[in-house]
Amino acid sequence: MRNTLSKRVRASELAASMGLPWFGTDVSISHVRTLDTVDEGALAFANSDLDQKRHCAATIIAKPGARISKGAVIEADNPRLAFARALHQIERLAGFRGYEAEASVGEGAKVSSTAVLGRSVTIGARTVIGENVVICDGTRIGSDCIIKSNTVIGEPGFGFERDENGVPVRIMHLGDVVIGDRVEIGSLNTICRATLGTTVVEDDVKTDDHVHIAHNCRIRRGALITACVELSGGVDVGEFSWIGPNSSLMQKITVGDGSLVGIGSNVTKPVAKGSTVAGNPARVLRASTDPQ
């Protein structure tokens, strides 16, 4: 991931560059994290109330009046927008560490001459990479996988926050993509890198052609994703589940293990383990018999 700064930036320096007030200890920022993984030296943002005792010496962008027992708080009326701007400011002030290593291709793997492999890409043994595939920096792909033609893995996801005038401000995507073993990815798929963490496709997942997997998704072991499915950001697809053709899943939806989403469904609510849903909006056709 690229979420480590090339050099440290003080909280006061970042706040001053953005014209925002700050309070607390003037810690130095070394990397960027989500709020739930924040640690010492991290920069994160919070749209909700902060747990004052939970955070270590980090820098948190939060709404006016928020305080933490350690570290610094940069105040902003819209913390997500300020965080988006902060990442661009850090790029100007210090930059983020990039990937430096050459791509690594495992024994017996076959990579088409027309494929493009970015820096620090890892391809496992016996994996096959098809024609015109683009695999971006930092992506890791396991063994015995098949990546079919014209698929793109690891480009930044679609993340924006509107400014005061309604203009979209891009949120930099500093995460990566990890794909397990025995995974098959269809033609013309797009799998986006995570915002700050990792987009994950676990072992034995199979996707059909024309599938979009957005940033921060997790596709769990043995799931089947059929043609033209769109998974919005942060969707979690359970083990051995089946997602029907032309289905669309709203951001951060969880699909339970062994569940089925019918053809053309628009899924706006979590899907329980072992259940079947279909329709627009998707409704339960068969409830789970698992007491969970």
| CA distance linking residue 247 with residue 211, whole number of Å | 10
How many other C-beta atoms lie within 10 A of the C-beta of residue 267?
Answer: 24
pLDDT score recorded for residue 55:
61
**Helix spans in the chain (H):** 11-18, 79-93
| CA distance linking residue 154 with residue 111, whole number of Å | 17
Residues 6+ apart with CB under 8 A from 34: 44, 195, 196, 197
pLDDT score recorded for residue 292:
53
For tokens 């994290």, the residue is 33
The mean pLDDT value of the chain amounts to 95
Q: What is the pTM of this model?
A: 0.93
| CA distance linking residue 176 with residue 179, whole number of Å | 10
86 closest CA partner among 197, 165, 196 = 196
Domains in the chain: ranges and CATH: 4-93 (3.40.1390.10), 104-286 (2.160.10.10)
For tokens 């953005």, the residue is 18
Residue 60 has pLDDT above 90, yes or no: yes
Residue 36 has pLDDT above 80, yes or no: yes
| CA distance linking residue 84 with residue 171, whole number of Å | 5
Give tens-digit pLDDT for 92-127: 999 999 899 999 999 999 999 999 999 999 999 999
Give tens-digit pLDDT for 259-279: 999 999 999 999 999 999 999
pLDDT score recorded for residue 152:
98
Name the token pair of 105: 């291709």
- Catalytically annotated residues: 215
Residue 53 has pLDDT above 70, yes or no: no
